[in-house]
């Protein structure tokens, strides 16, 4: 009998991993759970692994350098900024993500935040609870058909967001340096460059990868370019936004509101200034979740890992 592949699950937060275990064991794999916290933990657990499943653990250049026989690394999610992609490329280890799950969930969460903030439900609810009854909202409230809904990025999730926003009669615009304006127009979305998007968007939703170029894409200077009536939504990656600058802009009235699901540091620090912003709608990195998204993620990740072990074409290699 052939020797089993050694698969290390560097870390996970799932209640059950029977989906992954079943797929991997059926492909002659032995799944080992490590629950690593640091790069040193990962090195100790994975040096002789044939493949890695990674949720949040840091897979640094040192980790990759220590891998002696790894055939594939699969990140359990859409983002992959906790894996050193360049180091893996130099060592000819393919890194894959799972970009085709939770698309509907994140798009739904994005629209839920945007619509709630645009209709000022959070403020009106608070006024009613405090004993104030007023049929006119606290702030200016344009009709949706008068508003421009903008996305930074035009990938799977952004396109799903636009599909939903179209039904509310928003004007749709987007920026993505990897997508042509012609491709956007085919889906009823107009291209704007990044500066114009932030100047003209009434609702601006972030849907791009975290890179050196996009880190703190939304900073103090860019927030000042936005309309005082504009709304920012981030359900993508926490480090896309300087949340301290965002809190300052919310408190000063530079922008009207923000919906934030992801943060630079998670859990959100207790004394972070955005916690005291009444015009911020905050959720705890839950946009990805539904009862069906978890098993979908686990299945897709495990199947991609098995393809890597069996030297079959990979579907979602990012390096």
Q: Are 138 and 77 in the same domain?
A: no
> Read out DSSP for 230-289?
-EEEE-S-GGGB-HHHHHHHHHHTSSSEEEES--SSSSPPTT-GGGG-TTEEE--S-TT-
pLDDT tens per residue across span 34-51? 999 999 999 999 999 999
pLDDT tens per residue across span 162-199? 999 999 999 999 999 999 999 999 999 999 999 999 99
Strand intervals (E) in 44-91: 51-54, 72-75
The residues annotated as belonging to the active site are: 237, 266, 285
Q: Is residue 131 part of a domain?
A: yes
pLDDT over 90 percentage in the chain? 99
Q: Are 207 and 299 in the same domain?
A: no
pLDDT band at 94 (very low <50, low <70, confident <90, very high): very high
Q: Is residue 319 part of a domain?
A: no
pLDDT tens per residue across span 54-76? 999 999 999 999 999 999 999 99
Question: What CATH number did the domain enclosing 39 receive?
Answer: 3.40.50.720
Is 257 buried (19+), middle (13-18) or exposed (0-12) by CB count in 10 A?
Answer: buried
Q: Are 150 and 263 in the same domain?
A: yes
Q: Is residue 318 part of a domain?
A: no
Mean pLDDT, the chain, rounded, equals 97
Q: Is residue 59 part of a domain?
A: yes
Q: Are 247 and 272 in the same domain?
A: yes
Q: Under DSSP, is residue 159 helix (H, G, I), strand (E, B) or coil?
A: helix
Q: Are 55 and 130 in the same domain?
A: no
Total domains present in the chain: 2
Query: Is the pLDDT at 1 greater than 80, yes or no?
Result: no
Q: Are 76 and 165 in the same domain?
A: no
Query: Is the pLDDT at 2 greater than 80, yes or no?
Result: no
Q: Is residue 54 part of a domain?
A: yes
Q: Are 65 and 195 in the same domain?
A: no
Tell which residue, 286, 287, 257, has the closest CA to residue 119.
257
Query: Is the pLDDT at 103 greater than 90, yes or no?
Result: yes
pLDDT band at 127 (very low <50, low <70, confident <90, very high): very high
Q: Are 57 and 78 in the same domain?
A: yes
Q: Are 137 and 247 in the same domain?
A: yes
Could you tell me the residue range of the domain that residue 277 belongs to?
A: 103-282
pLDDT over 70 percentage in the chain? 99
Q: Are 153 and 271 in the same domain?
A: yes
Q: Is residue 314 part of a domain?
A: no
**Mean pLDDT across the stretch 86-98?**
98
Q: Is residue 46 part of a domain?
A: yes
**Mean pLDDT across the stretch 80-85?**
95
Query: Is the pLDDT at 232 greater than 80, yes or no?
Result: yes
**Mean pLDDT across the stretch 269-292?**
97
Q: Are 178 and 92 in the same domain?
A: no
Q: Is residue 287 part of a domain?
A: no
Q: Are 136 and 235 in the same domain?
A: yes
């Amino acid at each position: 009998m052939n020797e089993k592949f050694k698969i290390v699950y560097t870390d996970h937060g799932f209640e059950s991993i029977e989906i992954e275990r079943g797929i991997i064991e059926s492909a002659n794999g032995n799944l080992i759970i490590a629950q690593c916290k640091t790069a040193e933990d990962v090195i100790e657990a994975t040096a002789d692994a044939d493949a890695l499943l990674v949720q949040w653990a840091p897979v640094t250049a040192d980790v990759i350098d220590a891998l002696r026989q790894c055939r594939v690394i699969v990140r359990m999610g859409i983002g992959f900024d906790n894996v050193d992609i360049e180091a893996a490329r130099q060592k000819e280890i393919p890194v894959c993500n799972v970009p085709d799950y939770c698309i509907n969930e994140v798009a739904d969460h994005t629209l839920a935040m945007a619509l709630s903030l645009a209709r000022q439900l959070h403020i009106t609810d608070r006024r009613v609870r405090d004993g104030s009854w007023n049929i006119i909202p606290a702030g200016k409230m344009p009709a949706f058909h008068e508003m421009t809904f903008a996305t930074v990025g035009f990938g799977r999730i952004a396109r799903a967001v636009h599909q939903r926003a179209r039904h509310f009669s928003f004007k749709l615009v987007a920026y993505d340096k990897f997508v042509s304006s012609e491709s956007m127009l085919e889906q009823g979305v107009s291209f704007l460059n990044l500066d114009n998007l932030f100047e003209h968007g009434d609702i601006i939703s972030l849907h791009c990868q975290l890179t050196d170029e996009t880190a703190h894409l939304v900073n103090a200077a860019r927030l000042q370019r936005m309309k005082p009536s504009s709304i920012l939504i981030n359900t993508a990656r926490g480090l896309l936004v300087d949340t301290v600058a965002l809190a300052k802009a919310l408190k000063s009235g530079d922008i009207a509101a923000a919906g934030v699901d992801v943060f630079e540091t998670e859990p959100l620090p207790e004394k972070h200034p955005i916690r005291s912003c009444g015009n911020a709608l905050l959720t705890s990195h839950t946009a990805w979740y539904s009862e069906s998204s978890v098993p979908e993620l686990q299945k897709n990740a495990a199947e991609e890992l098995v393809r890597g072990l069996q030297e079959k074409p990979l579907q979602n290699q990012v390096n």
